[in-house]
Structure 1
Amino acid sequence: MASVDMERGGVAKNRGNYTSSYGMSTPYYYETRERQWISWVIPIFVISNIAVFIVAMFINNCPNQEHRTGKCVVRFLHRFSFQPLRENPLFGPSASTLEKLGALEWKKVVHGHQGWRLVTCIWLHAGVIHLLANMLSLIFIGIRLEQQFGFVRIGLIYLISGFGGSVLSSLFIRNNISVGASGALFGLLGAMLSELITNWTIYSNKAAALITLLIIIVINLAVGILPHVDNFAHIGGFLTGFLLGFILLVRPQFGWIERHNLPPAAQVKSKHKAYQYIFLLISLVLLLAGFVVGLVMLFRGKNGNDRCHWCHYLSCVPTSRWNCGN
C-alpha cells in the first residue's frame, strides 16, 4: 500500500481585515494551527504484530514436523525455521499453527462459538513476506494519520476496521482460514478518503489528492482478486474505515476563533458545516446497521454467497493459470 500527501492551507493568525487560509474574510482573530500528535500507538501495533509472529514461529517449531512435511527452510534458525515453501511460500508457520493461535475460520466462529477469532486473526500473519508488506504499509500510512488526528481516533479506526473486515470475510469465505492486518490497513485508506471528502474545503490541490488516493485504493483492491488473498477482508475493512472517517476525522471548517471581547455578530455558533453533520449521521447509521446485520447473519450461519451469487469474483477471478476453488 501507499499513502498520499494532501496539503492544507498554512497557519492563519492575524488581526485586522484578513482573508484566512480557509477563505473567510474577517476583521477578527483566527487561530487555525493544529496540534501535532506524537505517534506511539502505530509503533505499538507494529511491534505487537512482529511479536505475535515470533511467538507463532516459536510454537510452530518446524523441525518437530520435518518428518511429515519435508525439509524446513532456513534450518539454521532451528525451531524458528519456516515451513517448506510448497506448504507456505510466504516463509511462515503452518496453517495448523495459525489455526491454533486464532486464525479466522468460519466453522469455529459459528459452530464452535469462538467469536474472538474475529479479532485475533488481525494480529496473525502467514509469513515474513506477508508481515513485512503489511507493517511497512502501516508505518507509511498510520504514523502520518496519527500525527494529524491522535492515537485514540486512529487506533479505533484500525481496530474496528479490522473487525469489520473479519465479519465480511466470515460471511463469504467458509473453506479456508484467514489472517492478517490488511482489513485494518484498508480501513485507514478508507478513512483517508472520507476525511478528504468531509474536509474538502480546507485542502489545496483537492482534485490531485483525490485522484491519487483513488488510484492507490483501486490498485490495492485489484491485487485482492488474486488467489490466496482475502479481498473480502480488504473490502470490509475499507468500507468500515470509510464510514468511520466521516465520524471521527471531521475537522473544523471555520478555524478556532478567540471568542472573548468579540461582538455577538462575530461569534460562530458552529465550527463545522451542515454537510459534515449530515455525513456523520448517515455514516453512523450505516455503520451500526452494517455491523448488526452482518453479525446476525454470521452467527445464524448465513452464507453471503447465497444472497450475492457474483460476489465471489470480488475476492478471486479464475483464469487459465489458477483455480479459485483451491
Structure 2
Amino acid sequence: MIKEEKKKKGEIFMERDQSAAASNLEIKVVRPRRNDNLVHPAGQAPRTTRRRSYSSNYNPFKRWVSWLVPSFVVANIVVFVVTMFVNDCPKNSASCIARFLGRLSFQPLKENPLLGPSSATLEKMGALDVQRMVHKHQAWRMISCMWLHAGVFHLLANMLSLVFIGIRLEQEFGFVRIGLLYVLSGFGGSLLSSLFIQYGISVGASGALFGLLGSMLSEIIANWTMYENKLAALLTLIVIVIVNLAVGILPHVDNFAHIGGFLSGFLLGFVFLIRPQFKWLTQRNAPPGHVSTPVKSKHKTYQYVLWVLALIILIVGFTIGMVTLLRGVNLNDYCSWCHYLSCVPTSKWSCKSQQIYCLSSQLGNQLNLTCVSNGRNGTYSLLDGNPTRAQQLCAELCS
C-alpha cells in the first residue's frame, strides 16, 4: 500500500513536471503580417509596426499657436496711445475729457464723441486722405490708416472683433496666410473707400476685419465637402455679414471700406484658405493595411478654378483701382446711386459730410484757397496776422 501510494505520488509529481515543462513551450499564434508565416515561441515578442491611434475626433490638420493676431491687437493699442500723446489736448484745446490723464486726455465730446484725438492729429498720424494721396503722392496712407482709431469705443469694438475672429483663423491656417489676408483686405477696403469718399479722412481696422469675415465665407465654399452642417454654417455666416454691413449705412461710418475689405477677403480666401479634399486626407492618414477609395488629386477641380479666378480678379481689380485713384477719378461721377451703400438719409439723420477741406496755394503775400467740394475759391492776405481767418474763409467757401 505504501509503495503504491508512493508510486501514485511519483506519477503526480511527474505530471506536474510535464505540465510545467509544457508551459515553457507555449505556442502563440499571431495575426500574420505581409510575407510573415512564422510561429513565435513564448518570450519572443513579434515585431509589430507602431500604429497611430485613430478616433472619431481625429484632426489631420496642424493646430497653430496664435501669436500674430494678439500682436496686432497690442500694436493697435500702442498706436492709439502714441496718437493721444501727439494730440496733447490740454495744449491745443480749452476743454478736454479726463484732463487728469494729461497729454493723453480726450477731445471734447462735441468734437469727438468716441473719446479720441482730433481729426487734425489723425491726419498727421497717417489717416486715409485722398487729396494728399493724389496730389502729394502719399499712397502709404492706405496701409497706415488701418492702425489708427478715432476713439476708445472705436478701438474697443474693432479689437474685440479681431480677437474673436482672427485667433481662430490663425490657429487653423497659420500666421503667414492670415497676416497677408488681414493686410491685403485692409488695403482693398482703403482702395474702394478712396474711390468713392474723396473728402475728409478715414481710419480704422474695419476693412481688414470684414476681410476676415469674407474669407470665412469663401473658405466654407471652397472646402464644401469637409463640412457636415454645410447650410447651417453658410447661412449663419451670411446673416452675420448682412447685419454688419447694414450698420454701415449709418452716417459717419465708412461702409465702402467695409465692402472693399469684405470683397477682398472673400477672394483672398479662395487663394489662401483652400484645403485638400477630405477623401485625400482620409487616404493619406489611414492606418496601415486600411484600404481607402483611390483619389486622383488632393484638390477638386472646382477648387483649382476658384483659385485661378480669384487671383486674376484680385490682381486686375487692385491694378485698375490704383491707376484710377492716382488719376483723381471719383467713381460717384459714374454711379449715381452708389453713395447709398455708405449712408441712407432718413428723417433722423443727414448723410451730408460735415468735413470742410480747402486746397491752398501761396503767391507772394496772398494765400489762394479753393473748396474741394464745390470748386469755389477766394484769397486771403497773410499780412492780416489772423491765423484763424483762413479757416473761416474756407468754411465760407464750402458753405
For normalisation by structure 1, the TM-score amounts to 0.87
**Post-superposition offset of 1:222:** 0.3
- Distance across 2 between alignment mates of 1:260 and 1:76: 66
1:150 to 170, 174, 180: 174
For normalisation by structure 2, the TM-score amounts to 0.72
Is 1:319 the counterpart of 2:370 in the alignment? no
1:303 to 325, 330, 335: 330
Is 1:64 the counterpart of 2:64 in the alignment? no
Q: Contact 1:32–1:255 (CA<8 Å) still a contact in 2?
A: no
- Distance across 2 between alignment mates of 1:43 and 1:79: 27
**Post-superposition offset of 1:14:** 5.8
Is 1:210 the counterpart of 2:234 in the alignment? yes
**Structure 1 residue identity aligned to 2:261:** G
**Post-superposition offset of 1:298:** 0.3
> Could you say which residue in structure 2 is the equivalent of 1:9?
none
Deviations 1:207-246 (A, max 9, x none): 1111110010000000000000000000000000000001
Cα gap change, 1:266 to 1:223, in 2 (>3 Å): closer
Is 1:43 the counterpart of 2:70 in the alignment? yes
> Could you say which residue in structure 2 is the equivalent of 1:55?
82
> Could you say which residue in structure 2 is the equivalent of 1:275?
302
Deviations 1:263-287 (A, max 9, x none): 9x97644211111001111101111
1:200 to 210, 213, 224: 224
Is 1:177 the counterpart of 2:201 in the alignment? yes
2:118 to 94, 104, 118: 94
RMSD over equivalenced CA pairs, Å: 2.2
**Post-superposition offset of 1:174:** 1.2
**Structure 1 residue identity aligned to 2:89:** C
**Structure 1 residue identity aligned to 2:326:** F
- Distance across 2 between alignment mates of 1:93 and 1:78: 13
Q: Contact 2:60–2:285 (CA<8 Å) still a contact in 1?
A: no
**Post-superposition offset of 1:305:** 0.6
- Distance across 2 between alignment mates of 1:267 and 1:207: 28
SS at match of 2:93: helix
- Distance across 2 between alignment mates of 1:14 and 1:56: 53
- Distance across 2 between alignment mates of 1:14 and 1:64: 66
**Post-superposition offset of 1:206:** 1.1
> Could you say which residue in structure 1 is the equivalent of 2:104?
80
- Distance across 2 between alignment mates of 1:103 and 1:58: 16
- Distance across 1 between alignment mates of 2:105 and 2:71: 25
Any stretches of 5+ residues in structure 2 without a counterpart? 1-51, 354-399
Higher relative contact order (CA 8 A, sep 6+): 1
Deviations 1:81-114 (A, max 9, x none): 0000000000000000000000001100111100
Q: How many residues align?
A: 299
- Distance across 2 between alignment mates of 1:316 and 1:81: 31
SS at match of 2:65: coil
Identity in percent = 63
Is 1:139 the counterpart of 2:163 in the alignment? yes
Is 1:105 the counterpart of 2:129 in the alignment? yes
**Structure 1 residue identity aligned to 2:156:** L
Any stretches of 5+ residues in structure 1 without a counterpart? 1-11, 22-30
Cα gap change, 1:13 to 1:111, in 2 (>3 Å): farther
Is 1:285 the counterpart of 2:309 in the alignment? no
Cα gap change, 1:204 to 1:260, in 2 (>3 Å): closer
Structure possessing the higher radius of gyration over alpha carbons: 2
